[in-house]
């Protein structure tokens, strides 16, 4: 019997997280005889391919000169046999009922290309970073411009747009989704659990690098799509630069006036203003959580992240000026 569902898992040195991911797929509410699981490994050094093979999973190994998630996903869906492709990252756990619920949406809506659900951090309190970054995954249900790395897609649509752009080291899903929407298809975010994720961010440096990667994606996708029928992140990229400058200027003016007067009042007032910005962001995000401490941390993150994101954008333009393509920005 030909499979009706192909699950493509990508990973690089995920270790036990990969084993847990595969086992969550094998335990989902879907007939095993109608499903195939493909793991695409990007030059792991921790024995991940052997772990996957021991669980009875087909393994594909890619050796890209410039590693990127897009390359792994393309390698997976192109050897897959089913009409529906579920993409997962190797550090996620699949909800047992997501596929069953998502497939029903495809049956009811033939114009649908992609269905995705809720991704959350597990455990969300493993570190202070994961506590507030967990809220970043929360989107309202409905039609969306793009999806994340975990999503269920029609293979036919992937073939029409030739899959992911292998030149992108970040932002490959939104870029492909723009090409999909340009063909008249829609993308649906459903109000149902999809995956649990493990960012494994426990250090400041990891948080900073992840945010700079976001900035790189902003700048690259902005330039790639700005003259197309489906531009993306045009407003966000400009707003990020402006927001980062405002935050740094407020702090800089406070420091300069404090040393010039001399008085601590200018610095104190600048910190109060920055605190008000954070509280405003926390208040706007109150629909995402009932935990006031998590919301306060998320408010600080929502403001501060503009600075490393702006650095990520500048890094993209710097490498572009040098005529170079930046390599994968890893934060784990």
**Per-residue model confidence as pLDDT tens for the chain (332 residues):** 688 999 999 988 888 999 999 999 999 999 998 999 999 998 888 888 899 999 999 999 998 777 789 999 999 999 999 999 999 999 999 999 999 999 999 988 999 999 999 999 988 888 899 999 999 999 999 999 999 999 999 999 999 999 999 999 899 999 999 999 999 999 999 999 999 998 889 899 999 999 999 999 999 999 999 988 889 999 999 999 999 999 999 999 999 998 888 888 889 999 999 999 999 999 999 999 999 999 999 999 999 999 999 999 999 999 999 988 887 777 77
Closest CA to 208 of 67, 94, 308: 308
The Cα-based distances of 122 to 39, 263, 296 in angstroms read: 22, 46, 20
Residue 60, burial from CB neighbour count under 10 angstroms (0-12, 13-18, 19+): middle
Residue ranges matching CATH 3.90.550.10 in the chain: 5-201
Answer whether CATH 3.90.550.10 is correct for domain 5-201: yes
CA distance 172 to 164: 6
Q: What is the largest CA-CA distance in the chain?
A: 80
Count CB atoms within 10 A of the CB of residue 160.
Answer: 14
Look up the pTM and report it.
0.91
Distance of CA 243 to the CA centre of its chain: 22
CA distance 163 to 36: 19
CA distance 306 to 304: 5
């Amino acid at each position: 019997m030909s499979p009706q569902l192909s699950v493509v898992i990508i990973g690089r040195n995920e270790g036990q997280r990969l084993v847990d991911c595969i086992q969550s797929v094998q335990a989902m509410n879907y007939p095993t005889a109608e499903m195939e699981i493909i793991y695409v490994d990007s030059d792991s050094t921790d024995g991940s391919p052997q772990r996957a093979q021991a669980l009875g999973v087909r393994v594909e190994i890619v050796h890209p000169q410039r590693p990127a998630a897009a390359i792994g996903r393309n390698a997976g869906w192109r050897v897959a046999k089913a009409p529906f492709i579920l993409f997962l990252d190797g550090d996620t756990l699949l909800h047992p009922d997501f596929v069953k619920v998502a497939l029903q949406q495809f049956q009811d809506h033939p114009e649908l290309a992609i269905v995705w659900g809720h991704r959350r951090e597990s455990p969300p309190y493993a570190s202070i970073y994961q506590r507030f970054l967990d809220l970043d995954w929360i989107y309202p249900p409905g039609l969306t411009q793009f999806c994340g790395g975990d999503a269920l897609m029609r293979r036919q649509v992937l073939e029409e747009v030739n899959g992911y752009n292998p030149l992108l080291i970040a932002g490959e899903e939104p870029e492909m989704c723009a090409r999909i929407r340009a063909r008249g298809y829609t993308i649906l975010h459903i109000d149902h659990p999809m995956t649990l994720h493990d960012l494994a961010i426990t250090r400041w440096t990891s948080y900073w690098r992840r945010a700079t990667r976001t900035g790189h994606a902003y700048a690259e996708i902005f330039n790639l799509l700005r003259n197309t029928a489906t531009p993306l992140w045009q407003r966000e990229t400009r707003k990020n630069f402006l927001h980062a400058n405002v935050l740094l200027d407020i702090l800089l003016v406070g420091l300069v006036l404090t040393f010039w007067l001399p008085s601590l009042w200018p610095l104190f007032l600048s910190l109060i203003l920055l605190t008000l910005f954070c509280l405003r962001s926390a208040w706007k995000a109150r629909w995402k959580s009932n935990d006031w401490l998590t919301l306060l941390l998320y408010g600080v993150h929502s403001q501060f992240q503009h600075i490393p994101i702006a650095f990520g954008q500048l890094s993209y333009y710097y490498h572009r000026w040098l005529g170079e393509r930046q390599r994968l920005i890893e934060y784990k």
